[in-house]
Chain A
Amino acid sequence: MKFFLCSAVSLSFLASAVIAQDRTLTISVYSFGKDAMDEAVFSPFEEVCGCDVVIETGRSVERMAKIEANAADPVIDVAVMSAQDALSLARQDLLSPMEFAKISSHADLYESAQDPLGNQTALGYGFYATSIVYRSDLVQIDSWADLLSDDLKGRVALPNITGTQGPLTLEMISKALGHEGADYAATIDAIGAQADEIVTFYNRSSELAQLMMQEEVIAAPVGRFAWSRFSGADLPFAWAEPAEGQTGGMNVIVMTKDNGNEDLSYQFIDYWLSTKVQTRVAEAGLDSPANSKVIVSDEAAARLTYGADLINSLKMLDPAAIIDNREAWVDRWNEKVVN
């Protein structure tokens, strides 16, 4: 009898171990702050779900290519990306529509994050504002048009058109200059006419930070997520509040279609979007919260895109407009600006 009992117990342990091994969730995320995200989100979730979480990182294009290449048998269950990248995947029918009823924190999200693509394939998990960072001892920025003013000739950097910040900058300079049209043709031409006077078209915020530290550049548009690189410096950097307002964007969380791991995916998405986890992530300065119930310290709030007033005032671009016009923007940019 004893022998059978011991066998049963050891078998049950073995079975539970096998089940635990089977419960694996693969998440594709940005590589920014991976260790801190691991501490704030992924490891605690492993304890909650009793499962293994596998993290995949890389550039957006690589991560999207992986989802496309494995469409028949997805190797990624959940992914976070920009709203336009998510829409691009949704148009290829690679994302699973979500049942929002299964996500208890859904109602707590800001309205714009509750169904940003309009087809239930994505949920916003973080916002970022984009404005102009500048040297307050050398220049005053009141408008996006100041970036092309004579006073700043030879001292401005702009984001490259191929990055996320590029189209946002075009949108706001267009507003400031009174240019109309989604093709931004007049604005690209205006930048092209001054291309020699623009120090560079940067690709990464880290690159910009170095140029501003060594006074090569004294004003440039940048995402709020990079503000900590400047706010902690010895030099007097300021965050502009231009007359035309601030622009920004939203990152979203998506679930791949037919991944066979839907229950765990829902559990993770609900966990990440919960007030508790979003607060923890925001306090760590990793992402600005999309959950409207999150309350953070003043110190953390200063680093983030935080608060209903600010988030509701952001002039965000329509993801569909970005996808539909991106190629034309890049072609004109290559012709008029970098050629």
Chain B
Amino acid sequence: MFQNRKEGLALALPAAIFTALLFLLPVGMLLSEGFKVDGLWSMQGYIDFATKPLNQTVFLRTLKLGFLVVLVSAIIGYACAFCIVNLEGRHRGRVFGLIVLPLMISPVARTYAWIVILGRTGIVNDTITGLGLSETPIRILFTETAVFIGLLQLFLPLMIISLVSAMENLPNDVIPAARVLGASWFKVFTKIILPLTKDGLVIGGTLVFTGSLTAYITPAILGGSKVLMLETLLYQRVNVANDFVSAGIIATILIIMSFGANVLLKRIATARD
């Protein structure tokens, strides 16, 4: 398209300068504060952060919930995606529309709905007490369970969409062929579906994990101050303590975790080749 490479680079230069000056530089400056103590480069900020018991608890909780959401969304996502790709065209569009619909609703509205559903007088507790499973309502709100449910509901559509795209590219005859040859459904999944849809799983997994790490509204509303996650801790450090150094450290950890999850999922996917 271009006469030479220089012309292409020249066209990209304004956007690159804009991004570098207005995004990369300020973010770099903010994050670099975590590597300084009294103006000198040091890792002491990270050491102090890592040795605080609260930070350790919050880090492990964030990691645990992130992986749990990815795992459960992958299980549900594969089942949903398999059903969707096997539906007739007209029904497929409708069901797919229902999957996508929640993404068009504000996360705030979706999360507030969970407060009503999971509360003492909500539908879940009404069902539990109605069935006689418990005499008194169970506390679900402001627990890790509530945050897990909220995050799963928030990001499950992304996993389903990724897996549907991947499964649509599966050759039509591979699953019937495997079944005819006597493969169980478990073998069909592990030997055929999973290897052939690994790219969709990596994309969906990365989106869900990164989303779970960075979502603020859901952990803040459903977990409150009792179930702190890294993102709610970050907000607390900035807005309550005006402590941008700790906030920069948390942001760096979140970025590393996101990249780490992507690399790990790719490794898992390629290991099956």
Contact = CB atoms under 8 A, between A and B. Distances in A.
A162 B224 contact: no
Given A160-B225, A200-B224, A338-B225, A215 B121 contact: yes
Interface in A179-214: 195, 198-203, 207, 210-211, 214
Contacts of A115: none
A96 to B, nearest CB: 22
A338 B121 contact: no
Which of B57, B115, B242 is packed against the most chain A CB atoms within 10 Å?
B242
Interface stretch (B69-77, B233-241, B260-268): B233-241
> What is the predominant secondary structure among interface residues of chain A facing chain B?
mixed
Contacts of A200: 141-142, 224-226
Contacts of B94: none
B119 A216 contact: yes
Nearest to B242: A61
A154 B142 CA distance: 12
B55 to A, nearest CB: 9
Given A215-B121, A338-B228, A199 B115 contact: no
A65 B242 contact: yes
Nearest to A161: B225
A149 interface: no
A241 B231 CA distance: 38
Contacts of A65: 242
Contacts of A203: 224-225
Contacts of B240: 61, 162-163
B224 A214 contact: no
A339 interface: yes
Report the contact-size class of chain B (Cβ under 8 Å from the partner): 20 to 34
A335 interface: yes
Given A195-B226, A201-B224, A214-B115, A64 B120 contact: no
A334 interface: yes
Nearest to A199: B142
B226 A61 contact: no
A59 interface: yes
A207 B223 CA distance: 12
A339 B227 CA distance: 9
Contacts of A199: 139, 141-142
Contact of B54 (A62, A198, A335): A335
A36 B57 CA distance: 44
A332 to B, nearest CB: 11
B139 A154 contact: yes
Nearest to A203: B225
Interface of A: 59, 61-62, 64-65, 154, 160, 162-163, 195, 198-203, 207, 210-211, 214-216, 330, 334-335, 338-339
5 contacts: A61-B241, A195-B226, A203-B224, A214-B122, A215-B119
Q: Lowest 10 A-B CB distances belong to which pairs?
A: A201-B225, A200-B224, A162-B240, A334-B54, A200-B142, A160-B225, A61-B242, A339-B54, A214-B119, A216-B119
Given A162-B240, A214-B115, A339-B57, 15 more contacts: A61-B240, A162-B225, A163-B240, A195-B226, A199-B142, A200-B142, A200-B224, A207-B224, A214-B120, A215-B120, A216-B120, A334-B52, A335-B54, A338-B226, A339-B54
